[in-house]
Chains A and B, each alone.
Chain A
Amino acid sequence: MKKTLISLLIVAISSFSAFAAPVSGQKAPEFSGKTMTGETISLSDFVGKPVVLEWTNHECPYVGKHYNSGNMQKTQRALTEEGAVWISIASSAPGKHGYITADLAQELTTSRGSYTNHFILDPEGTIGRMYNATSTPHMYIIDEKGTLVYQGAIDDIPSASVRSLPKATNLVLQAWKELKAGEPVSEPHTSSYGCAIKY
């Protein structure tokens, strides 16, 4: 009975904390976090440069598909070479699926040949909740003025199989090309797929 009451209270309280989600076309929420190298970075540090956020979980097979096939590295390379700042974020809580230490993050970044500029460790899930990130990989593109221009999946086939890649449209690349060409992003908000983030 006591337990029920407590959980009811929790439900009541959490359902009152309005579901705020970032909106494509509006200002991206400001955040700051500690990276795997121990420095603290904020979104506002990169004003004037486009920023890409990649929610990741090294234990997730969907993330695995994009790293083992080289698809994620290819996307990272294309965008960072054209001036984007790439930030990988892990929001899994300690002890949960996908929790990562600074050492392991550094090791994986090297061994996978990742082109990420920063790797933020967000074990409290503060940034993840702020951005309403639900699965890994979950991608966000913020333009140089700080406006969120894309949020959602990395591509349009919600599969864990490498076979799906040749047929898939890379939605991050598509949005990036449109942004560079000064066109409006045709699909600014898609449904992300993959493993649930273990907050």
Chain B
Amino acid sequence: MITMRELSKKTLTLATVLLGITGAFSNAVTATDLGTVEASHSKATLISEYSSAAAGETIWVGLELTPREGWHSYWKNYGDSGAAPIFEWVLPEGVTAGDALYPTPHRMPIGPLMNYGYEAPSTLLVPLTFDSGYTANALPIELIVEWLVCEIECVPQEGTWSGSLPVGDLSYDEGARSFFTDARDQLPEMAIWTADLTVYPAQSRLKVYAGADEIGTVKEAYFYPEGEGITEYAAAQQWASSPDGFFVDMVRTEGGLEANSGKGILVITSEDDQDRAYEIDAELKVEALPAAGSSNATPPQVNADFPLWQAGLFALLGGLVLNLMPCVFPVLSLKAFSFIAANSKTAGERKQEGWAYTAGIWVSFMIIVSALLIIKSSGTAIGWGFQLQEPAFVGALVLIMVLVALSLSGMFNIQVGVEGAGQQLASQDGNKGAFFQGVLATLVATPCTAPLMAPAIGFALTQSAPVVFLIFSLLAFGLALPFLALSYSPALARLMPRPGPWMEKLKEALAFPMYLTAAWLLYVFTLQAGATATLALLVAIIIAIFGVWLWQAFSGRVGKAIAVIIMISAASAIIIQPFGGSPVSNPVETASDITPYTEEALAELLADDETVFAYFSAEWCITCKVNEQVALFTDETQALFAQKGIRVMKGDWTNRNAEIAEILARYGRAGVPLYLLFPKGQSEAIVLPEILTPGIVADAIANI
């Protein structure tokens, strides 16, 4: 415990250095050292850059604060708690002390709070300006500085200096050179860019207008606001680039202090982890109304008219539509057959099974969404469909598709739930089976993100966690709804056709869309992991099938055990991927004049006054492929592009790509497809719908 009495005792032991006007300058190095104060938990050294000042000139003095190991001092905006150093100068008339220049601070999280300051020695530079009419031949200096150092508890420190500096001819002190060079190296550079800082009730956005070549590659950007009321210091900041510069978004306390300054320090971390600090004097704009669209990374115009209920409805409908997707439908047919076959079950058992199936879907969705949120919060730019950017996941899906297809073809029965007419299984097994059918349905549904769902998912991923979970719960519910309805309504169940041999035929027929899905996923896998890995995957799949065959061929315990071992090792080989290869570069489908999307390339084209059509696609995105075949790579559209001189850019999101994730987020999307038309000389694009027709493209081009 530190009482005031103890404190004053400590601060009374002040080093007071008096320098005489004459005879004190025999040692040039120490001549301008105005003294060091050893305070209880830190020391402070005051040094002048000049050994002699002159009327009409400005000289600099530096105060170096060195906190004890593990302790820290503060920047002028100390964040949530702390105190900036206070200078009290007593100077004669004709000399004024200016505001101190502070080195670039660091972030120091303290529990739930955030402090800005220095854990290492820091030097504050103060200008002393002499009137041209200053006539005395010396400057008497009286200075009291109060500064705070903290570790866990805080101890105010105080130092008093009194001394004198000759005034006559301006004379630089060589002995102080390295001290001042080092101090200036720690100061932020003056930014050459214009910037504005818009403060909304619950967020602030710093927009910096800078060319891509001026800022280089940015890994991270952080803004230290000088004024109060700009941000909740402990909250993470988000940055994103735009064609005319970039912006940093900050969370703000609603009802917090009024914003009073647009100044601050922007620290940009480059790809090679070099920090560059810039002093920013942004124009402060205070908006009384919330930024439309509560997302931080989304510009105000996106999502402006997308209320929660609408997103929820889209999610529910999207989930329903998923049932009809070519890769999902066959899996669901198994479920349907089990309903048809389960005439002997009681109504209660049917309901239980319906809910088990719903739970399977819901749990799988929640696992994927939680993973997505965790990865996102670590700052990695990803979006919906991220699972498919992982070759191991795609490989596992190929295996699942092939096994399901073989099962449909009649090679064997996957024992999930009730297959085969008349087969009697205990109701508990039925529930477990239904649960895993739900899991399987979710797994195979992920590549087929229905177009209706894209805006809902894009909206959801920019929202707070509870909203995200709500939207995805509705999506899961939508997917489960048909069977849930069947399990509840005997009337609906009666509408189903009577069981019979036709079911076997239909099942066999439905195997073929599954084989096709597997083939397509194999193609995606090849692009991601390379040909060698594809060979390894195929071998692993064949071995897995061999294991299944062994299982059926042998009834003995040993044979079954060998079969299980073979199946498990094949499956783990796929997931661990010991033969991982390098991704094949993505082929450009048609015209060779398609520029791969990078932010820089887009900015360049826009700067050249070009009209740009940018499309974002992935090999695993069916909607994208359909749009490209139907609307983009048609002779008419290609001719139109050529005729209007429109430059085409492609962003390929088959593999993870932060730049593409960013532009998707900026236009309120969490995944592909995204179609953007940038009219000549405009940095904001017209967004085309997710489902394209040649007419839509032609109309959009005609309207610009």
Contacts and interface: CB of A to CB of B under 8 A. Distances in A.
Interface of A: 5, 8-9, 11-16, 18-24, 26, 58-62, 64-65, 68, 96-97, 132, 134-135, 157-162, 189-191, 193-199
B4 A60 contact: no
B464 A14 contact: no
A198 B86 contact: no
Given A19-B251, A160-B146, A161-B156, A194 B81 contact: yes
Contacts of A64: 2-4, 7
A161 B146 contact: yes
Interface string B346-380: 00000000000000000000000000011001100
Which of B3, B4, B7, B155 counts the most A-chain CB atoms under 10 A from its CB? B4
B220 interface: no
A178 B188 CA distance: 42
Nearest to A125: B112
B494 to A, nearest CB: 46
Given A160-B148, A195-B154, A21 B377 contact: no
Contacts of B254: 18-21, 23
B463 to A, nearest CB: 10
Nearest to A57: B153
Nearest to A26: B255
B156 A160 contact: yes
B258 A189 contact: yes
Which of A13, A22, A191 counts the most B-chain CB atoms under 10 A from its CB? A191
A189 B257 contact: yes
A12 B374 contact: yes
Contact of B158 (A8, A14, A134, A161): A161
Given A65-B4, A196-B110, A19 B465 contact: no
Interface of B: 1-5, 7, 80-84, 86, 110-113, 115, 146, 148, 150, 152-156, 158, 202, 228, 232, 235-236, 251, 253-258, 373-374, 377-378, 464-466
Nearest to B158: A161
A20 B253 CA distance: 7
Nearest to A5: B374
Nearest to B81: A196
Contacts of A193: 83
A117 to B, nearest CB: 25
Contact of B7 (A16, A61, A135): A61
Contacts of B81: 134-135, 194-197
Given A12-B374, A19-B235, A199-B111, A162 B4 contact: yes
Contact of A159 (B1, B83, B153): B83
A59 B228 contact: no
B647 to A, nearest CB: 40
A5 to B, nearest CB: 7
Nearest to A69: B4
A115 to B, nearest CB: 19
B235 to A, nearest CB: 6
Contacts of A196: 80-82, 110-111, 113, 115, 150, 154
Given A8-B378, A97-B152, A158-B84, A15 B111 contact: no
A8 B378 CA distance: 7
B82 to A, nearest CB: 7
Nearest to A4: B378
A140 B255 CA distance: 15
Given A19-B251, A59-B2, A134-B80, A12 B377 contact: yes
Contacts of A12: 373-374, 377, 465
A22 B251 CA distance: 16
A13 B153 contact: no
B253 A160 contact: no
14 contacts: A12-B373, A12-B374, A16-B466, A18-B202, A20-B254, A21-B253, A21-B255, A26-B255, A61-B4, A189-B256, A195-B154, A196-B115, A196-B150, A196-B154
Nearest to B111: A199
A65 B374 CA distance: 45
Nearest to B83: A158
A133 to B, nearest CB: 10
A59 B153 contact: yes
Contacts of B155: 61
B145 to A, nearest CB: 11
Contacts of B82: 196
A13 B115 CA distance: 21
Contacts of B156: 61-62, 159-161
A11 B236 contact: yes
Contacts of A198: 111, 152
Contacts of B148: 160
A159 B146 CA distance: 7
Contacts of B83: 62, 158-160, 193-194
Which of A22, A97, A190 counts the most B-chain CB atoms under 10 A from its CB? A97
Nearest to A59: B1
A9 B374 contact: yes
Contacts of A159: 83, 86, 146, 156
Nearest to A189: B257
B257 A191 contact: yes
Which of A58, A97, A157, A196 counts the most B-chain CB atoms under 10 A from its CB? A196
Q: 3 tightest A-B contacts by CB?
A: A23-B255, A196-B81, A160-B156
A191 B228 contact: yes
A162 B253 CA distance: 32
Nearest to B228: A191
A65 B113 CA distance: 23
Nearest to B251: A19
Which of B158, B228, B257, B258 counts the most A-chain CB atoms under 10 A from its CB? B257
B464 A18 contact: yes
B158 A15 contact: no
Nearest to A195: B154
A197 B115 CA distance: 13
B373 A19 contact: no
Contacts of A160: 7, 83, 146, 148, 156
A168 B150 CA distance: 24
Given A61-B2, A64-B3, A132-B253, 17 more contacts: A8-B378, A15-B251, A16-B464, A21-B256, A59-B1, A60-B153, A61-B7, A61-B156, A68-B3, A97-B152, A97-B153, A135-B80, A189-B256, A189-B257, A191-B257, A194-B83, A199-B111
Nearest to A197: B81
Contact of B374 (A8, A16, A157, A161): A8
A20 B377 CA distance: 21
Contacts of A59: 1-2, 153
A23 B146 CA distance: 32
A186 to B, nearest CB: 13
Nearest to B377: A12
Given A61-B2, A64-B4, A193-B83, A19 B253 contact: yes
A62 B86 CA distance: 14
A135 B81 CA distance: 6
A15 B80 CA distance: 16
Given A21-B254, A61-B4, A11 B377 contact: yes
A178 to B, nearest CB: 18
A69 B112 CA distance: 31
B149 to A, nearest CB: 11
B664 to A, nearest CB: 21
Contacts of B374: 5, 8-9, 12
